């Protein structure tokens, strides 16, 4: 315990000497000392209170910085493909820019970067110092902060109070009860880390120009529940594709899953695709026109984007030159589920890499069996098929295609089967096996690297959309 020697010496000199009062003098001195320390603490506290009032009128204060796990390293460890020796449960170095964007997801990134350029961001840190009298005094320091500066635990970031008046970028999507109930009915699985949806065909997963409704925006409005941050996309599905869509409920869980998806795709590109080592497995069902030569196999064909129609649109195509930097290696495993006498085949497709339109291009250009409803990559096959449908299949059905009831957001799940004139894309992400990230996040410090490698998996299955189920029933009859 620290004692103010100067105060004690003054008190002893000011008292008359007495043989009987020695102990009383010491006790009196200690009481004076305690009184001095408490008054000093009260003074510093009042100073802090005054500074807080001034700060509140001038600054917008973010929550104190807390330790975060290294989500990227944890995802790589779970995938069994770690490239660094750093522990995934060790504190992850977080910059001031990242912390602001995490605490204020509604603030535009460009605005935050401008505040840093104008030197209008401050760091408030608290330190304990020892005064001349030997007492510990809590002092608050406020300094300018750079975008790439690392934060210490307990640091608070101060932004200009004017940021409170800036409207958030995200828009509230006002839906009817029927529409909101429909969005919630898409849930296949939910835990503290992820939400898994059965994406309907025809709805884009991400917003953009000319897109009124997208799943990421609707999820941010209706699937937050008691969480302060919106669900985040972990991977994507084509607009006309249906099936399993995984979203992270927090930034940490989304970052871990992003890392797992990235590492699995990277490992496949390096010809490392042993089923037993793959912690992430995706299986799609597709109805194709024609039948592959072999009942199962692995497609390894690089893809490249080409511009068509004088730059108005683009398409993906197989490109044989591996040395071209713009081409992307793509690998797909396939197996025949069953064939039909009508010239269709049901395939199970397992993409080991995640390239744009990978399954559609591999089926159309490599196997020579375009997916039903894929007019972009199989329009010639569909034109040849049209006569067969009119003369054979539809006559055998001996009934008109029923008009399906439209679901919310203009989604038609009933029409589009092989009995209809206009076909929907018959590509569905039916099954996914992925690590149970929620278990790893319950107590990250208790998981060793070996524990992460042995993390139990989730197996999620999404039922076929109505029109694909109808096509299945027709071909099975």
- Residues 291/341, Cβ–Cβ less than 8 Å: no
pLDDT digits (tens, 9 = 90+) for 403-414: 456 788 888 888
Pick 337 or 449 by higher pLDDT.
337
286 forms bridges with which residues in the sheet?
347, 427
Helices (H), 60-202: 71-78, 96-103, 109-117, 177-185
User: What's the average model confidence in pLDDT over 201-209?
Assistant: 89
Whether 238 is catalytic is yes
pLDDT at 387: 61
Q: What gap in Å lies between CA 17 and CA 353, rounded to an integer?
A: 90
User: What's the average model confidence in pLDDT over 392-418?
Assistant: 68
pLDDT at 58: 83
pLDDT beyond 50 at 398 = no
Of the chain, the percentage scoring pLDDT greater than 70 comes to 75
Q: What gap in Å lies between CA 469 and CA 322, rounded to an integer?
A: 39
pLDDT at 12: 44
pLDDT at 52: 56
CA distances from 33 to 131, 132, 352 (A): 13, 13, 72
- Residues 434/279, Cβ–Cβ less than 8 Å: yes
pLDDT at 3: 42
pLDDT at 56: 59
pLDDT at 71: 80
pLDDT at 32: 45
Say if residue 167 is exposed, middle or buried (CB neighbours under 10 Å; 0-12, 13-18, 19+).
exposed
pLDDT at 239: 94
Kindly name the residue from 155, 238, 374, 420 that is annotated as catalytic: 238
pLDDT digits (tens, 9 = 90+) for 222-267: 999 998 888 999 999 999 999 999 999 998 899 999 999 988 888 7
- Residues 190/196, Cβ–Cβ less than 8 Å: yes
pLDDT digits (tens, 9 = 90+) for 123-139: 998 877 777 777 877 78
pLDDT digits (tens, 9 = 90+) for 50-104: 555 555 568 889 989 877 777 888 888 888 776 555 555 445 578 899 889 888 8
CA distances from 7 to 18, 40, 42, 99, 447 (A): 20, 14, 19, 45, 53
pLDDT digits (tens, 9 = 90+) for 56-68: 568 889 989 877 7
288 forms bridges with which residues in the sheet?
345, 371
pLDDT digits (tens, 9 = 90+) for 26-45: 444 444 444 444 444 444 44
Which residues does 220 contact at the CB level (< 8 Å), separation at least 6? 170, 230, 231
pLDDT at 336: 98
Of the chain, the percentage scoring pLDDT greater than 90 comes to 43
pLDDT at 228: 82
pLDDT beyond 50 at 159 = yes
Of the listed ranges 59-68, 169-178, 372-381, the one predicted with least confidence: 169-178
pLDDT beyond 90 at 314 = no
pLDDT beyond 80 at 393 = no
Pick 145 or 106 by higher pLDDT.
145
> 162 pLDDT band (50/70/90 cuts)?
confident
pLDDT at 173: 62
Q: What gap in Å lies between CA 453 and CA 258, rounded to an integer?
A: 17
pLDDT at 326: 57
Q: Model pTM? A: 0.74
Nearest to 253 by CA among 77, 74, 462, 102: 74
Q: Which of 20-29, 168-177, 287-296, 387-396 has the highest mean pLDDT?
A: 287-296
pLDDT at 223: 94
pLDDT beyond 50 at 11 = no
For residues 307-322, one letter each, b for 16 or more C-beta atoms within 10 angstroms of the residue's C-beta and e for the rest, the string is eeeeeeeeebbbbeee
pLDDT at 92: 59
pLDDT digits (tens, 9 = 90+) for 211-222: 888 999 999 989
């Amino acid at each position: 315990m620290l004692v103010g020697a100067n105060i004690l010496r003054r008190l002893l000199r000011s008292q008359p000497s007495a043989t009987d009062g020695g102990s009383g003098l010491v006790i009196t001195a200690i009481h004076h000392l305690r009184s001095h320390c408490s008054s000093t603490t009260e003074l510093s506290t009042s100073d802090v209170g005054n500074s807080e009032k001034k700060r509140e009128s001038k600054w917008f204060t973010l929550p104190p910085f807390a330790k975060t796990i290294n989500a990227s390293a944890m995802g790589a460890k779970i995938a069994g493909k770690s490239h660094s020796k750093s522990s995934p449960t060790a504190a992850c170095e977080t910059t001031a820019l990242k912390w602001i964007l995490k605490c204020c997801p509604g603030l535009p990134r460009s605005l935050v970067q401008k505040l840093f350029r104008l030197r209008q961001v401050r760091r408030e840190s608290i330190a304990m110092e020892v005064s001349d009298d030997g007492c510990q005094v809590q002092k608050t320091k406020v300094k300018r902060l750079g975008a790439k500066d690392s934060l210490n635990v307990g640091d608070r970031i101060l932004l200009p109070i004017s940021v409170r008046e800036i409207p958030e970028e995200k828009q509230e999507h006002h839906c009817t009860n029927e529409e909101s109930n429909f969005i919630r009915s898409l849930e296949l699985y939910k835990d503290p880390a992820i939400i898994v949806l059965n994406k309907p065909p025809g709805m884009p997963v991400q917003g953009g120009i000319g897109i009124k409704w997208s799943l990421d925006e609707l999820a941010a409005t209706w699937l937050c529940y008691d969480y302060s941050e919106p669900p985040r996309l972990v991977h994507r599905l084509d607009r006309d594709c249906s099936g399993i869509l995984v979203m992270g409920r927090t930034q940490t869980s989304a970052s871990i899953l992003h890392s797992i998806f990235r590492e699995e795709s990277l490992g496949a590109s390096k010809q490392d695709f042993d089923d037993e080592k793959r912690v992430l497995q995706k299986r799609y069902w597709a109805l194709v026109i024609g039948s592959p030569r072999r009942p199962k196999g692995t497609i390894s064909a690089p893809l490249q984007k080409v511009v068509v129609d004088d730059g108005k649109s683009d398409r993906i195509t197989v490109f044989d030159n591996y040395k071209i930097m713009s081409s992307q290696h793509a690998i797909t495993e396939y197996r025949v589920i069953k064939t039909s006498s009508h010239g269709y085949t049901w395939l199970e497709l397992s993409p080991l890499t995640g390239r744009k339109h990978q399954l559609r291009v591999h089926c159309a250009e490599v196997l020579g069996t375009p997916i039903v409803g894929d007019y972009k990559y199989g329009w010639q096959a569909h034109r040849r098929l049209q006569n067969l449908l009119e003369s054979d299949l539809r006559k055998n059905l001996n009934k008109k295609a029923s008009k399906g009831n439209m679901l919310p957001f203009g989604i038609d799940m009933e029409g589009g089967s092989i009995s209809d004139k206009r076909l929907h894309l018959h590509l569905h992400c039916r099954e996914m096996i992925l690590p149970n990230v929620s278990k790893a996040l319950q107590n990250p410090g208790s998981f060793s690297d070996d524990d992460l490698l042995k993390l139990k998996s989730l197996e999620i299955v999404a039922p076929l959309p109505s029109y694909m189920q109808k096509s299945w029933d027709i071909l099975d009859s």
